[in-house]
Amino acid sequence: LSALQENVERSNRNIDWPQVNDRHMYPSEVFGQDVFDRKTMAGTLPKPVFQAFSKQVQGHRQLDRPTADAVAHAVRIWAMNKGATHFTHWFQPQTGTTAEKHDSFLTLKSQIIDGQEEIYAIDAFSGGQLLQSEPDASSFPNGGIRSTFEARGYTIWDPVSPMFIRRGPHGTAVLYIPSVFISYNGEALDEKTILLRSSEVISKATVGLLRALGDNETQRVTTTLGCEQEFFLIDRALYNLRPDLKIAGRTLIGVPPPKHQQLEDHYFGQIPSRVLACIAEAEYELARIGVPVKTRHNEVAPNQFEIAPIFEEASIAVDHNLATMEVLHQVAHRHKLKVLFHEKPFKGVNGSGKHANWALQTDSGDNLLDPTSTPETNYRFLLVLVAILDAMYKHGDLLRASIASASNEHRLGANEAPPAIVSAFLGDHLSEVLNSIEEKRPVADFSQPHLQGVSVGGTTLDLKISSMPPIARDLTDRNRTSPFAFTGNKFEFRAVGSKQSPSFPIVLLNAAVAKSLQLVTEAVKKAQGKKAAPSTEDLLSVIRTFAASSKKVRFEGNGYSDEWVVEAEKRGLPNIKSCPAAFKRLLLDHNKQLLTSLGILSAAELTSRYHILLEKYAKDLLIEANTLRSLIVNGVLPAAFTYRKELADSINSQKSAGVDAIPEKKLLNTLTKGSIALQESSTSLEALISKIESLDEESQGETAGKELTVAMEDVREKSDALEKQIADKYWPYPKYTELLL
């Protein structure tokens, strides 16, 4: 009750917006203030050093020592002038979050003065410290990659991602050095190394195709990524009273409130003021470290929100997505709010995702996924498109594996998120373009949609309002039920979990597409034969072949429907329902071959990842089950017992007073039955937990997935039935109504 009171009485936190000339600083003025970006480097480094640095980074070569020393010196002076006292390599072990260990710039020196040693302090930061650090790799997940005698691991600065200063409480400030994390033998122990590898591979593959098409200019192609991040914000005092939210990140029991999202009044609604203050402060902090947050809005569920940045080069976008989650977490704390990134914190209420918007961009800024207004003759676009479809068709199971986790499992296929079947959506216009090429007929005329019976196209809409100009309509329509949808000039991978790092999904996507781009390139060269350049007919024949062979992965209908499940099965598309089954796909020959032959993951790295994922899955479920057990045994059952006693006492006193019809009797009966049922379910759960804990790793995941989830659901059902009967004053935890409304 006092938590509720606290919630209601909270006032908004005041934020000190940075001012300049008596006005708020513009977003553009705040942006990148705390980033040691190329512009700052150019201003702080001697010119030859800056040039050497640029050259080495562009050529993807290891920095030489004098350059590293000069950069280290310059960044230390810059950072200390901004209040930083420490530096840290910032890396991404396979825990889903980031890791850091702060080192002070403080260094002790000694000097002999008059024959006596004098110790004195200076601030220092060497090129060696900038480039490399050595955390103990054995304390991070390594999936058996580390041999017992060699626990060493290295973090190494990734100079493509700029250093920045993160500000903490009470004026603390630390220089962050984005880094990769590898083992003593150079195996990737993190999410970033493999992403950088996959980016190189897809760049080379795409440039290969462009060369075959006569483009001799493009040297590099970057993967662009923009992550829409969904999350819930709830009051901190109430959050603290829910052990399940604290430990598992989601509610393990609880009856959905009578009003949640049925009225569809939350989506794009007014952002509540306390939430707005929190998000705005987080955006401000993110802008300072160079994260270009662009949009914010209410999402579908109560207390659910989304922010999205402007897209960036994928590895930087991943760094920035992880930073976004961390900053939101910290800032929410200051506003006495708690941010929930779990994919499904509340049963019966929409869950959260992370839409990963993905495209390919040349070094001259051309988006290869831009269909332009005449995709039918944009062969470069069509060849890239069919390569992507080919990749989805052959390695859709890999993408399914990339997003599998105990938490995301609650969201997939739950009529609110893409199903476990991977398919690609193109929209009417592009589907028609591919179909017409395949069927060797002219493409339908999209400039006059009404004549073709086609509802969309790259046309203008007439609003029939004279004061408004005609507006351009997108080339594609939207299909929110597809896990992988083309949205105008990019693909949106919509099945990614809100909580997970977007890195692994992008790595596997890049890998699959790179391979298909290589195949498309070979086909173009083969069709071209001895000619100097491929003819239009050559290109059309390649597009036709790949469009036809990958056709089964294209689906334009409702991905949430039961018919699709049946249809997908007919098409032979995998419908991988459980996480352990999804993880196994990583090790299947066609996937293993893909990843190892491209040099993105070695067989050992792949196997280690499989083990880490499976182990984490089993652990997550066991933690949830244990938490649930204690909620029931320590909270729900005692509440039921107390309430029953009160009812029994009341019945007894009424009996002695000679009352005949005692209404409490019926309720007492129901509660007794309900309590016994819950007690029994909870005892079975406990036995199952012990059984699973004694199994080996492989069977733990399997059994937990099959049996534990069912047993937990059973306990929940019975607890929720009691929640509906027990008087509010006895219920030990804040209810959905309090948490969400």
Instruction: Select from 224, 481, 482, 719 the one that contacts ligand ADP (CB under 6 A).
Output: 224
Q: Taking the complex as a whole, how short is the minimal distance between the CB of residue 355 and Mg ion, in angstroms?
A: 6
- For the record, the structure tokens of 482 come out as 């597809």
DSSP 8-state secondary structure symbol assigned to residue 342: -
CA triplet 545, 550, 553: central angle to 5 degrees? 160
| CB-nearer residue toward ligand ADP: 51 or 295 | 295
Instruction: Select from 146, 395, 410, 490 the one that contacts ligand ADP (CB under 6 A).
Output: 490
Measure the CA–CA gap between 462 and 325, rounded to whole angstroms: 41
* 257 SS3 class: coil
**What is the pairing mode between strands 116-123 and 106-113?**
antiparallel
Asked whether 85 and 166 are in contact (CB, 8 A), the reply is: no
| CB-nearer residue toward ligand ADP: 256 or 488 | 488
Measure the CA–CA gap between 443 and 376, rounded to whole angstroms: 7
Closest CA to 504 of 701, 314, 291, 292: 314
Q: Taking the complex as a whole, how short is the minimal distance between the CB of residue 268 and Mg ion, in angstroms?
A: 10
Q: Can residue 371 be called a binding residue for ligand ADP (CB under 6 A)?
A: no
Q: Can residue 228 be called a binding residue for ligand ADP (CB under 6 A)?
A: yes
In the list Mg ion, ligand ADP, none, the entry touching 226 (Cβ below 5 to 8 angstroms by class) is ligand ADP
Closest CA to 510 of 222, 229, 311, 189: 222
Q: Taking the complex as a whole, how short is the minimal distance between the CB of residue 318 and ligand ADP, in angstroms?
A: 12
| CB-nearer residue toward Mg ion: 308 or 399 | 308
Amino acid at 145: I
Span 330-369, contacts to ligand ADP by CB under 6 A: 357-359, 367
Residue with tokens 């409130």: 257
Q: Taking the complex as a whole, how short is the minimal distance between the CB of residue 504 and Mg ion, in angstroms?
A: 21
In the list ligand ADP, Mg ion, none, the entry touching 224 (Cβ below 5 to 8 angstroms by class) is ligand ADP
Q: Taking the complex as a whole, how short is the minimal distance between the CB of residue 307 and Mg ion, in angstroms?
A: 10
Q: Taking the complex as a whole, how short is the minimal distance between the CB of residue 332 and ligand ADP, in angstroms?
A: 21
Stretch that binds ligand ADP, among 81-89, 461-469, 485-493, 575-583 (CB under 6 A): 485-493
Residue, CB closest to ligand ADP:
226
Asked whether 471 and 459 are in contact (CB, 8 A), the reply is: no
Stretch that binds ligand ADP, among 178-186, 222-230, 327-335, 717-725 (CB under 6 A): 222-230
Beta bridge partners of 231: 305
Cα distances (angstroms) measured from residue 456 to each of 119, 232, 430, 587: 76, 35, 11, 42
In the list ligand ADP, Mg ion, none, the entry touching 87 (Cβ below 5 to 8 angstroms by class) is none
Q: Taking the complex as a whole, how short is the minimal distance between the CB of residue 311 and ligand ADP, in angstroms?
A: 3
Q: Can residue 310 be called a binding residue for ligand ADP (CB under 6 A)?
A: yes
| CB-nearer residue toward ligand ADP: 191 or 230 | 230
The H helix count followed by the E strand count for the chain is 25, 23
Helices (H), 403-440: 428-438
Q: Taking the complex as a whole, how short is the minimal distance between the CB of residue 109 and Mg ion, in angstroms?
A: 54
Q: Taking the complex as a whole, how short is the minimal distance between the CB of residue 517 and ligand ADP, in angstroms?
A: 17
Stretch that binds ligand ADP, among 221-229, 396-404, 543-551, 715-723 (CB under 6 A): 221-229
Asked whether 587 and 614 are in contact (CB, 8 A), the reply is: no
Closest CA to 356 of 172, 185, 225: 225
In the list ligand ADP, Mg ion, none, the entry touching 490 (Cβ below 5 to 8 angstroms by class) is ligand ADP
x/- site string to Mg ion, residues 215 to 234, per CB under 5 A? -------------x------
DSSP assignment of 224-240 equals EEEEEEEEEEEEHHHHT
DSSP 8-state secondary structure symbol assigned to residue 635: I
The number of CA neighbours under 13 Å toward the Cβ of 27 is 11
Residue, CB closest to Mg ion:
228
**What is the pairing mode between strands 424-425 and 484-486?**
parallel
Size of the site for ligand ADP (CB under 6 A): 17
x/- site string to ligand ADP, residues 267 to 306, per CB under 6 A? ----------------------------x-----------
In the list Mg ion, ligand ADP, none, the entry touching 431 (Cβ below 5 to 8 angstroms by class) is none
In the list ligand ADP, Mg ion, none, the entry touching 159 (Cβ below 5 to 8 angstroms by class) is none
Beta bridge partners of 86: 104, 174
The number of CA neighbours under 13 Å toward the Cβ of 178 is 23
* 540 SS3 class: helix
| CB-nearer residue toward ligand ADP: 418 or 701 | 418
Asked whether 450 and 444 are in contact (CB, 8 A), the reply is: no
Evaluated on CA atoms 211, 217, 222, 226, the torsion sign reads: negative
Instruction: Select from 54, 132, 378, 489 the one that contacts ligand ADP (CB under 6 A).
Output: 489
Cα distances (angstroms) measured from residue 355 to each of 191, 260, 723: 18, 23, 35
In the list Mg ion, ligand ADP, none, the entry touching 161 (Cβ below 5 to 8 angstroms by class) is none
Q: Taking the complex as a whole, how short is the minimal distance between the CB of residue 498 and Mg ion, in angstroms?
A: 12
| CB-nearer residue toward ligand ADP: 489 or 703 | 489
Cα distances (angstroms) measured from residue 186 to each of 92, 415, 576, 585, 603: 15, 43, 33, 25, 14
Beta bridge partners of 554: 424
| CB-nearer residue toward ligand ADP: 309 or 734 | 309
Size of the site for Mg ion (CB under 5 A): 1
Closest CA to 305 of 268, 280, 342: 268
In the list ligand ADP, Mg ion, none, the entry touching 283 (Cβ below 5 to 8 angstroms by class) is none
User: How many CB atoms lie under 10 A from the CB of residue 77?
Assistant: 13
**What is the pairing mode between strands 491-493 and 354-362?**
antiparallel
In the list ligand ADP, Mg ion, none, the entry touching 125 (Cβ below 5 to 8 angstroms by class) is none
Span 82-101, contacts to Mg ion by CB under 5 A: none
| CB-nearer residue toward ligand ADP: 311 or 504 | 311
Q: Taking the complex as a whole, how short is the minimal distance between the CB of residue 29 and ligand ADP, in angstroms?
A: 21
Span 525-554, contacts to ligand ADP by CB under 6 A: none
- For the record, the structure tokens of 251 come out as 């509610």
Secondary element (H or E) of residue 214 = none
Q: Taking the complex as a whole, how short is the minimal distance between the CB of residue 361 and ligand ADP, in angstroms?
A: 7
Amino acid at 547: A
| CB-nearer residue toward ligand ADP: 492 or 624 | 492
Q: Taking the complex as a whole, how short is the minimal distance between the CB of residue 365 and ligand ADP, in angstroms?
A: 11
Asked whether 189 and 278 are in contact (CB, 8 A), the reply is: no
Q: Taking the complex as a whole, how short is the minimal distance between the CB of residue 391 and ligand ADP, in angstroms?
A: 17
Measure the CA–CA gap between 69 and 57, rounded to whole angstroms: 15
Can you give the binding site for ligand ADP, defined by CB under 6 A?
A: 224-226, 228, 295, 308-311, 357-359, 367, 487, 489-490, 492
Residue ranges in contact with Mg ion by CB under 5 A: 228
